[in-house]
Structure 1
Amino acid sequence: MEKNNTEKLKEVLSQTISQEGIEKKLKENSNEKPNETNKTKPKSSSSSKKAKSINPELSIPKVTPQAKPKIKNTNDMRFINYLIYSLCLIIIITLSTIIYLLLEKDKQVVPPVEPKIKKEVIIKKVIEPKEVEVIKEKVVTKVETKIVDLDNKNFRKFYYTQKAKVVKCYDFKANSSLLTPTCQQKITDFVKNTKNLTRLEIIAVVANADNVVFNKIKDDINKQPKAVQNRVKEYLIRGFSRQRVIETASFIRENLNDYAVVTPTNYYVKSSKDNKGIIIKGFYTTEGK
């Protein structure tokens, strides 16, 4: 019976029941024990009688009742259960937090690192152009004149030399004896660049367009003979050509007198191509080379 009681207690303890249930079970078990002992008492008396009658010397060994299993206090069990539950809860919470943190860490996208581009700083120096003063040097060439005794032999040598260079100016206006700026520059370059220049000869060039004066008096002398008309025309054109020579000679004497001597001419050139201007012959010698 005691074995049965212990087994029942084990079953009761194995089941998770409340403290009141455990107390009820214990009371039921305690009530059952006296009933069982009462039932067994008459048997023991009869058996004792039989024993006494059989052999008084043989005594029945006393049966020592087994020790009842100690039942732990329910408060201690309850505390242990709470402790186990709390530990399990803490473990679950810690594991869940660790898993959550790991998942969140994986979810975090690392932003791409932008490559640092080094900006080249270009410093531009603006150099302002300096104003350069251009000093024009006027080169004055000193002409050394060689004084030669002009006897008949030397004079002919210098005057009648056949070595000559020519410059032409055909940009004069009709019935005009004034030199244009282009013609003045051309004469200046010619005189300065011709070495050993001794004299200049100026020849006038006229065209039909220069007969302006004759055309004005043509009607007045129309009644005169043809020879007279031609002579008047010749005199007018000769005088006009002479005026061109005088204007050119005066320009040379005023600006280029140190370079050469101007000699007069008594003729002119009549142009068939309507050229109007002058021709200058520059005579030079080989002396001094």
Structure 2
Amino acid sequence: MEKKNTEKLKEVLSQTISKENIEKKLKENTKSSDRPKTSSNTKKQKTINPAHSIPKVSPQAKPKIRNTNKIRFINYIVYSLSLIIIITLSAIIYYLLEKKVLETEPKVVEKEVIIEKVVEQQPKEIEVIKEVEVVKEKVVTKVVDLDNKNFRKFYYTQKTKILRCYDFKADSSLLTKECQERITNFVKNTKNLTRIEIIAVVADEDNVVYNEIKDDIQNQPKHVQKRVREYLIRGFSRERVIETASFIRDNLNEYAVVTPTNYYVKSAKDNKGVIIKGFYTTESK
């Protein structure tokens, strides 16, 4: 039975559906399947509208921006002008200073020329210097003859002559005219005189300075008072020796050598003055 039924269906199908019908139906099916897709796309396009989806933005006013380039350019011009002004001023000052220096230079040259003139005139003074040297040679001739062997004999000779000048005033170291004349004659008339020794002679009347300050130091110990008195009288005696030695050196230097002493003689008879010892030899120099 089943076989019969299947055969009947095959016949029906063969009669009703041909190949051409099948192809037509297939084409129709394909067209129908394409149509609904396009409609769906159009629907989607209709639903999504970019104009409605993106909100419209109103244009805002742009902020004003300063032109910094112009400001920088102006500043650059100002700075450059100020630099140019400073450089020109410094150049002018330097030029003026150099001009002053150049103006003063000729004066310096003139001074140098004057100095050269003075140097050129110096040879005129050479003759005077030569004369002084001749005088020195006269003085030195005495010492040149004394060699190391006989120097002690001439210097430490025991042969002496003594001159005493006791006419000095109290608290005075100046030589009187009579004393100066006596010293001059003594030096010139003593033969083979080698050196002169000067000793000061003092008295109680010469203690003028100590008597003035005696009341001020009376509260000091006695040994201090004696020391002050000794120093004062020693200093005063030194003045008398220096004054006499300077007189002999200035006036009688070519006759003998002056050797001052560091001690003094205290007179018991109130004598005030100097003692002059002249050392001489019997042998010629």
**What TM-score does the superposition give when structure 2 sets the normalisation length?**
0.50
- Answer with 1 or 2: which has the greater Rg: 1
More helix by share: 2
**What TM-score does the superposition give when structure 1 sets the normalisation length?**
0.49
